[in-house]
Amino acid sequence: MMRTRPLKVALLGCGVVGSEVARIMTTHADDLAARIGAPVELAGVAVRRPDKVRAGIPAELITTDATALVKRGDIDVVVEVIGGVEPARTLITTAFAHGASVVSANKALLAQDGASLYAAAQEHGQDLYYEAAVAGAIPLIRPLRESLAGDKINRVMGIVNGTTNFILDKMDTSGAGYSEALDEATALGYAEADPTADVEGFDAAAKAAILAGIAFHTRVRLDDVYREGMTEVTAADFASAKQMGCTIKLLAICERAADGESVTARVHPAMIPLSHPLASVREAYNAVFVEADAAGQLMFYGPGAGGSPTASAVLGDIVAVCRNRLNEATGPGESAYTQLPVSSMGEVVTRYHISLDVADKPGVLAQVATVFAEHGVSIDTVRQKGKDGEASLVVVTHRAPDAALSGTVEALRKLDTVRGVASIMRVEGE
């Protein structure tokens, strides 16, 4: 039996994502009603510029007073697609206090204040859903929170930023340098005018915090995530990667420590083998690789951004929240019961690929090898190339704590015979 009072959705923000959510809610109203079990209607849209023409949205729904909209009291679901911390945070908590559940696509806010938002939702018996905050349309939050709820996740490793993947893919396939590839990404609309949040890894770090928290049932905040951008990746790094049968991706990696007593979360460029499923993720696509005790290795792949894909994720959440309301229930809340601490980058166990410019004379390799040994880092392979008194030495290490690896690099820089460290890149996915 379908009830006749419609569920009411308020939209905060009507940009690329919000306008697509509004469009689909209108054009697919019958499907949504059938799937929810009740009609769902757009009850208000808060915008900054009310005079802008918004096709398909009745003018009487438009308001500039977002606070009044979330306080109306008859709203079932508030969809927050404004982004940023404020006023989004206050609007969301106000919505909970006035009896609405919230669907958000706001990764920055969730990475920073997820715990307090969950607490506010729980206090008022409301739902907080945010599938769209990580990897756009790719169903990821729900599989991690629900499908894998009976399993033990050990690692989540993903390409969660489309802009940087587009740039790195261009560098890989065309041999272009970073700035050339960035220019192309900007021209094609894949990179914003100020690409800092993407290329410096801030966007990916927010997603890593969210994923780590869900995967390990503990609280991981943005500040807990180690972050390195990809602006210093060079064409020479790609050439080195190719020699190793690898490519380079900007990865978000969330891991449970071997002893199970702590977790880590980090974002940095890394070499991964071409045979790894993430290596073939092209252009602006996203993909997340999950390793769990029982399930084994899973991968989720799809468009990580864009109005329509993000709207798809938002609408899936709207349907879920509406179904919950008809059931007079709520979905899963925060799960942080393990309270596992987040370790620093120094404790992460990884491998380094190091290119050194060295003097071409006898004894250099012995000197270099001694530095590795002193730091307890064992060497997997060494490649030497020399000519005219100059030489390069490429060392790939075995697995060791990042602190030992970075300590080794610092000590190498101090050797007289080492003229420079041409590149350092972590090697993952083996």
Of 26-34, 54-62, 78-86, 381-389: span binding a copy of itself (CB under 8 A): 26-34
Q: Which is nearer to a copy of itself, 145 or 221 (CB)?
A: 145
Q: Where does residue 364 rank: exposed (0-12), middle (13-18), buried (19+ CB within 10 A)?
A: buried
Does residue 19 have a known ligand-binding role? yes
Q: How far is CA 333 from CA 112, 116, 117, 218, 304, in A?
A: 17, 12, 10, 12, 24
Encoding tokens for residue 234? Answer: 């060079």
Asked if residue 240 binds a copy of itself (CB under 8 A), the reply is no
The letter for the amino acid at 38 is: A
Pairing between strand 77-80 and 7-12?
parallel
Q: What single string gives the DSSP state of each residue in 329-391?
A: --------TT-PPBPPGGG-EEEEEEEEEEE-STTHHHHHHHHHHHTTPPEEEEEEEEETTEE
Q: What single string gives the DSSP state of each residue in 144-203?
A: IIIITTTS-EEEEEEE--HHHHHHHHHHHHH---HHHHHHHHHHTTSS-SS-HHHHTTHH
Asked if residue 393 binds a copy of itself (CB under 8 A), the reply is no
Task: Enumerate residues 317-356 that contact a copy of itself by CB under 8 A.
Answer: 317-320, 323-324, 327-330, 332, 335, 337-338
Asked if residue 31 binds a copy of itself (CB under 8 A), the reply is yes
Given candidates 3, 5, 15, 34, which one binds a copy of itself under the rule CB under 8 A? Answer: 34
Closest-CA residue to 102 (of 82, 80, 86): 80
Cα-Cα-Cα-Cα dihedral of 232, 235, 237, 238, to 10°? 130
Residue 414: active-site member: no
Does residue 263 have a known ligand-binding role? no
Task: Enumerate residues 155-194 that contact a copy of itself by CB under 8 A.
Answer: none
Given candidates 94, 312, 343, 350, which one binds a copy of itself under the rule CB under 8 A? Answer: 312
Total site size for a copy of itself, rule CB under 8 A? 58
The letter for the amino acid at 141 is: I
Least distance to a copy of itself from the beta carbon of 276, Å?
11
Asked if residue 314 binds a copy of itself (CB under 8 A), the reply is yes
Encoding tokens for residue 47? Answer: 């915008």
Least distance to a copy of itself from the beta carbon of 149, Å?
4
Encoding tokens for residue 3? Answer: 């009830």
Does residue 314 have a known ligand-binding role? no
Q: Which is nearer to a copy of itself, 16 or 369 (CB)?
A: 16
Helix (H, G, I), strand (E, B) or coil at 305: coil
Q: What single string gives the DSSP state of each residue in 33-66?
A: HHHHTS-EEEEEEE-S-TTS--TTS-GGGEES-H
Q: Which of these is catalytic: 207, 249, 361, 387?
A: 207
Q: Tell whether the torsion through CA atoms of 148, 131, 9 and 88 is positive or negative.
A: positive
Least distance to a copy of itself from the beta carbon of 131, Å?
6
Please name every residue paired with 356 in a beta bridge, in sequence order, or none if there are none: 393, 421
Q: Which is nearer to a copy of itself, 293 or 410 (CB)?
A: 293
Of 62-70, 170-178, 198-206, 293-301: span binding a copy of itself (CB under 8 A): 293-301
Q: Which is nearer to a copy of itself, 146 or 380 (CB)?
A: 146
Asked if residue 294 binds a copy of itself (CB under 8 A), the reply is yes
Least distance to a copy of itself from the beta carbon of 331, Å?
8
> How many other CB atoms are there within 10 angstroms of residue 280's CB atom?
12
Q: Which is nearer to a copy of itself, 13 or 309 (CB)?
A: 309
Can you state the angle between helices 162-174 and 235-243, rounded to 10 degrees?
70
Task: Enumerate residues 100-159 that contact a copy of itself by CB under 8 A.
Answer: 131, 137-139, 142-143, 146-152
Least distance to a copy of itself from the beta carbon of 334, Å?
11
Least distance to a copy of itself from the beta carbon of 378, Å?
31
Q: What single string gives the DSSP state of each residue in 241-302?
A: HHHTTEEEEEEEEEEE-TTSS-EEEEEEEEEEETTSGGGG--TTEEEEEEEETTTEEEEEEE
Q: Which is nearer to a copy of itself, 105 or 138 (CB)?
A: 138
Q: Which is nearer to a copy of itself, 154 or 355 (CB)?
A: 154
Least distance to a copy of itself from the beta carbon of 112, Å?
24
Which residues does the annotation place in the binding site for L-homoserine? 192
Which residues are known to be catalytic? Answer: 207
* Site of interaction with a copy of itself (CB under 8 A): 20, 24, 28, 31-32, 34-35, 131, 137-139, 142-143, 146-152, 217, 277, 280, 292-303, 306, 308-309, 311-320, 323-324, 327-330, 332, 335, 337-338
